[in-house]
Structure 1
Amino acid sequence: MADSSKYLLIVEDDVGLQSQLRWCFDDFEVLIAGDREEAITHIRRHQPAVVTLDLGLPPDPGGVSEGLATLEEILALAPSTKIIVVTGDNDRTNAVKAIALGAYDFCQKPVEPEILSLIVNRAYHVNTLEQENIKLQENQSKTPLNGIIASSPEMLKACRTVEKIAPSNITTLLLGASGTGKELFAQALHELSPRSDHKMVAINCAAIPANLLESELFGYEKGAFTGASKQTKGKIEYANGGTLFLDEIGDLPFDLQAKLLRFLQERTLERIGGREEIPIDVRIICATHQDIQNLIAEGRFREDLYYRISEVTIKIPSLKEREGDALLLAKAFLERFSKEYNQQINGFDKNAILAIEHYDWPGNVREIESRIKRAVIMAEGSLITLEDLELSTPDEEAMPLNLKQVRSEAEKKAILRALNHTDGNISETAKTLGITRPTLYSLMEKYGIKP
């Protein structure tokens, strides 16, 4: 009995041949289509691993135009599908043309069931191996750090810094614009540290009113102020043994900065209204989107506190500075939201890809996540368009005037784009760029691009 997920689509307008072929494949769930429209309906609904395709389909049963158009549309919707074209006797020219368009193999009429069965089973086996390989790569994770999706040298450098310093207790300052992933970096520092089996306690210094922030951080004793009806621990005390993440440290009130500095120096705290010094063992990670040096110059941030919290500083690049990462993130979010909202969306159209690559993304990763989520919900076709993303057609890029710089930047950008467009397939990337694989590896090494 056929496996219900083991689909084979037979695209053939001859009713007699349809019946003959159906009984050749007992171990498949066979689907039949007599024309392109019916074939595409089956592709969308069942996503068959293998398709046999007669090139002579109506309204051009005597030619191959409709069959080749069907071939291209199937591959546009489901690129991994293995298509076996069925051609007329001695019609090798069209068979070769179909292979060039992406067909897996061909079989000439009159069809010999044993030979076709052999080709179909081999195609299904190849498809299965490819899908298993994709799953294996996904399980091994494409991310340099948990939750962080990146391939740009700028972002990978920041990730390597995290891996180096995570095992230590060194106080770390994360600098980056809103939406760049500072909290994810803080989480990675905690998870890769010996403190990972304890809590990471986070507090946003900009989200809590100044008059409440001190009690939130340090806690208070019963009767310390009106409304203090019981002894209450602060965030710092709750983080004991683990990690304390102070987000938006640039917004910490100036009068509270001295108390935090004393804690960082002594590693003991006193609750508000208390006299007892409580020893605390905690790793401190701070983050801000503000320019701390400007705040110091304006007298709004203590210079001595800055040196305490920035034993190591990690600059997280904006998405605009991360060459090639916008499309990588867009694909990852598309996959996630397509599954989450049960939408059958297969990718982005050409103009959408160009727009994603050229848009500045002022809201960084948070903005691209929001736009892709909305586009998945609103999309009416199988590909995300410019309209779905609510982006405009990109303008021509401004280019530097130094020819050597132009060439280097153009080469690097072309390689990153080609890698993204081929999902990292080295052979396809080299073919797309019109160079050999050794040349591609050499250029990737030159520009610090990892496969």
Structure 2
Amino acid sequence: MTKKSILCITIGNLAIPATLSAAVQGWDVCSAATLAEARRQLKVRPLLVGVLLVEEHDDQLCAAMDGFLHEHWDMHWIALLHPPALESAAWRRLVHDHCRDFHTWPLDVERLRHTLGHAHGLAALCRAADGHGRIQPVPALTGESSAIASLRRQIVKVAGASAPVLIWGESGSGKELVAQAVHAHSPRRAGPFVPINCGAIPATLIQSELFGYERGAFTGAAREKRGLIEAAQGGSIFLDEIGDLPMELQANLLRFLQEKTIYRLGSTHSIAVDVRVIAASHVNLAQAAARGAFREDLYYRLNVLALDVPPLRERKEDLLPLAEHFFRAYSSERAPRVKGFSGRAAQAIRDYDWPGNVRELLNRVRRAMVMAEGRLILPQDLGLSTDQAARESAPLDDARIRAERDAIDASLQRAGRNITLAARDLGVSRMTLYRLLAKHGIPAPSRVCYTAGSPSK
């Protein structure tokens, strides 16, 4: 039978008392006299259970210990304190937030032995549920569903080629993670990965940002500047929401894809660039090309190797692994007392349809980690409830659509039906606004603008 192991931290030049020695008889005991020494030991040898034996109970030590215990939140800690320590609010909070149990002097050997054995058994049970305690690297695309497994296989195949990649997926589904995975598995992985959100850069700046400019190309161009495409030399450039790229820039991008050369703004000579283009969109570019909102020739140039990112509702098996992954990844933000998800919270996560996909799951988990009042996250901490989670997504979608349409209508009214002003008011590009108008069936305003006082038609 494998020996049980325990870490005993004795602060204040204390020796392990005979009572504690008797309680851990038969255990493999690791000792540390400082928090720094305890950190070093835990890096070399992760343990399940720890004992805190503190002689002095000043607030400075309490704050240092709070930080240490926050780092090692997944261990089960038992505090051994002198009774006066519990008169301090800071130490009471420390015990409440981080410790499974506590004992005060004089120590009772049998009670302490029972507490430590119970803590070790519970810790071993929790560790087994997480994969038998083996620390394994978490892949960028977390999940074991058939949909995500198929996507991983496609990524490996696509990564080895040099042709452009077009990624489609709903908003928040993880398109940039897929693009990063393609780059990481490709022969270009040693080169840069440069992401660009085409809808976030103003139309007046996007050409100079993508292609760069020469000195004197425009007022304020005091020196030449490399564009983002040049910055990705030898690597990959990720054009997110490429459907928002203005039509004139689409022509320049098409020329780059065909000739592998670019022209900086204000330049008369071309520059050869070795860059792989990975593009993504949450709108159907084939339909956009059919209605004239996207260049058809550029669509065919990009759509050589296509990847579809499944929405979260189609990979239900991945919901809890993803939630647990986010819980671990953002553990520094959580309330110290929060240790994981309750069974009811797990069921609510499985029942909900997640219209906002992975981004919504991440945001709800992070909020719950901060706001939860107990040791386990409950459905209400996630903003879900077990009886309504399955029905909640449809009304939420309807409300979102109505709110989006109302916002567009109000903005157009404020802007006098001027597309440029309305897009600026909404904080989106003109191309995005045209797409939203088509999505909601709102007639696009005439492109002819009339000044005040001119006759209406």
Cα distance in 2, alignment partners of residues 175 and 206 from structure 1? 16
Q: 1:125 to 1:352 in 2, by over 3 A?
A: closer
Aligned to 2:22: 23
Q: 1:266 aligns with which of 259, 265, 270?
A: 259
**CA deviations over 1:356-407 (Å, ceiling 9, x no partner):** 1111111111111111111111111111112111113335969xxxxxxxxx
Alpha-carbon distance, 1:261 to partner: 0.5
Alignment equivalent of 1:275, drawn from 254, 257, 268:
268
Are 1:338 and 2:338 counterparts? no
- Counterpart residue number, 1:41: none
Q: How far, CA to CA, are the matches of 2:253 and 2:134 in structure 1?
A: 43
- Indicate conservation of the 8 Å contact 1:359/1:394, yes or no: no
Task: State the Cα deviation string for residues 63-113 of structure 1 (Å, max 9, x = none).
Answer: xxxxxxxxxxxxxx98xx9xxxxxxxxxxxxxxxxxxxxxxxxxxxxxxx9
- 1:4 Cα shift? 6.3
Structure 2 matches for 1:1-150, cutoff 5 A?
Answer: 5=7, 23=22, 25-26=24-25, 47=76, 138-143=134-139, 147-150=140-143
1:41-440 to structure 2, matched below 5 A, reads 47=76, 138-143=134-139, 147-341=140-334, 343-395=336-388
Report the Cα distance in structure 2 between the residues aligned to 1:311 and 1:254, rounded to whole angstroms.
Answer: 20
Q: 1:354 touches 1:394 (CA, 8 Å); kept in 2?
A: no
- Per-residue Cα deviation, 1:297-322 (whole angstroms, up to 9, x for no partner): 21010111011111111000111111
Report deviation, 1:142.
4.6
- Secondary structure (helix, strand or coil) at the match of 1:362 reads coil
Structure 1 residues 396, 199: closer, same or farther in 2, change over 3 A? Answer: closer
1:271-293 deviation line (CA, Å, top 9, x unaligned) = 11111111111111001111112
Contact 2:230-2:273 within 8 A present in 1 as well: yes
Distance 1:216 1:137 in 2: 47
Question: Aligned letter for 1:47?
Answer: H
Question: Is residue 268–residue 280 contact of structure 1 (8 Å, CA) maintained in 2?
Answer: yes
With over 3 angstroms needed to count, the CA separation of the structure-2 counterparts of 1:255 and 1:4, relative to structure 1, is same
Cα RMSD after superposing both structures: 3.8
What is the aligned partner in structure 2 of residue 101 from structure 1? none
Aligned-partner Cα distance in 2 for 1:176–1:332: 21
Structure 1 runs not aligned, ≥5 long = 8-18, 32-43, 50-76, 82-112, 399-451
- CA–CA distance in structure 1, aligned partners of residues 328 and 191 of structure 2: 33
Q: 1: distance between equivalents of 2:198 and 2:239? A: 7
- Deviation at 1:351? 2.4
Higher relative contact order (CA 8 A, sep 6+): 2
23 and 287 in structure 1: CA distance in 2 versus 1, 3 angstrom threshold: same
- Distance in 2 of aligned mates of 1:237 and 1:248: 20
Shift of 1:131: 5.3
**Residue 284 of structure 1 aligns to which amino acid in structure 2?**
V
Residue 213 and residue 392 in structure 1: after superposition, are their counterparts in 2 closer, same or farther (change >3 A)? Answer: same
Q: Give the 3 Å change call, closer, same or farther, for CA 150–6 of structure 1 in structure 2.
A: same
Please give the TM-score of this superposition, normalised by the length of structure 2.
0.59
Aligned-residue identity in percent: 43
Alignment partners' CA distance in 1, 2:200 and 2:74: 48
Displacement of 1:256 after TM fit? Answer: 1.3
Could you tell me whether the CA contact under 8 Å between 1:172 and 1:311 is conserved in 2?
yes
Provide the C-alpha distance between the structure 2 equivalents of 1:330 and 1:126, rounded to a whole number of angstroms.
Answer: 22
Q: Tell me how far 1:335 sits from its aligned partner.
A: 2.8
Change in CA separation of 1:363 and 1:132 when aligned onto 2, cut-off 3 Å = closer
Distance 1:138 1:207, change over 3 A: farther
What residue is the counterpart of 1:447 in the other structure?
none
Q: Cα gap change, 1:238/1:21 in structure 2, threshold over 3 Å: closer, same or farther?
A: closer
How many residues get paired?
A: 308
- Of stretches 362-371 and 336-345 in structure 1, the one that deviates more from structure 2 is 336-345
* Secondary structure at the counterpart of residue 7 of structure 2: coil
SS in 2 for 1:23: helix
TM-score, normalised to structure 1, is 0.60
Stretches of structure 2 that go unaligned for 5 or more consecutive residues are 10-17, 30-49, 53-72, 79-98, 102-109, 392-457
* Alpha-carbon distance in 2 for matches of 1:336, 1:193: 26
